[in-house]
Amino acid sequence: MKETRFNIGDLHRISNRTPKNTDGVGKNKPSGGFDTILSNTLADNDPADTLAPSSLGEISSPVPVLPMDEPGIDIPAGIDTALDLFERYTLLLGDASKSLRDIAPVLTELTGQARRLAEQVQDTPSVDTRLSAIVDHMLSTATLEQFKMERGDYTDR
Residue 7's pLDDT band, with cuts at 50, 70 and 90, is low
Cα of 38 vs its chain's centroid, Å: 40
Q: Angle, nearest 10°, between helix axes 75-94 and 129-151?
A: 30
Q: Please write the tens of the pLDDT for every residue from 22-81.
A: 555 555 554 567 778 777 777 776 555 555 555 555 666 665 554 444 455 688 899 999
Are 107 and 91 spatial neighbours (Cβ–Cβ below 8 Å)? no
Cα of 46 vs its chain's centroid, Å: 38
* pTM score: 0.51
Amino acid at 35: D
pLDDT confidence of residue 69 = 44
Collapsing DSSP to helix, strand or coil, 91 comes out as helix
List Cβ neighbours of 154 (8 Å cut-off, separation of 6 or more). 93, 100, 103, 148
Span 103-119, average pLDDT: 94
